[in-house]
Amino acid sequence: MVFVQNDDPTGNQVVAYRRSADGTLQQAGTYPTGGRGGTLNGAIVDRLASQGSLTYDKAHRTLYAVNAGSNTVTVFGVAGDRLIRRQVINSGGTFPVSVTVHGQRSTS
């Protein structure tokens, strides 16, 4: 699976893609995060100017997505090619642009 987010300020979404054996991608689903994306001042192509706005925890089959516009992080369970939104939590700061996983917990 490949996950990307649209970082839409009116309603952030994660888009899931299946990767075929030849490397091509086919859209598998779109999942609202329950938060808003954001735009960093001066960012032109990548609204967040971040490489870590989505993080997958393989051991726990969990995907974390930042919602910069609403200062939250969404936690998804990953079930094959589907995402199940488990919770939306406060990031503890303003305009979070990345999230990491270390051991048993995530940090934004």
Which among 2, 1, 7 has a CA at the least distance from the CA of 74?
A: 7
Q: Determine the pLDDT at residue 107.
A: 61
Q: Kindly report the average pLDDT of the chain as a whole number.
A: 90
Do residues 7 and 48 touch, judged by C-beta distance below 8 A? yes
Residue pLDDT, tens place only, 17-56: 999 999 999 999 999 999 999 887 777 667 777 788 999 9
Q: Determine the pLDDT at residue 46.
A: 72
Do residues 29 and 83 touch, judged by C-beta distance below 8 A? yes
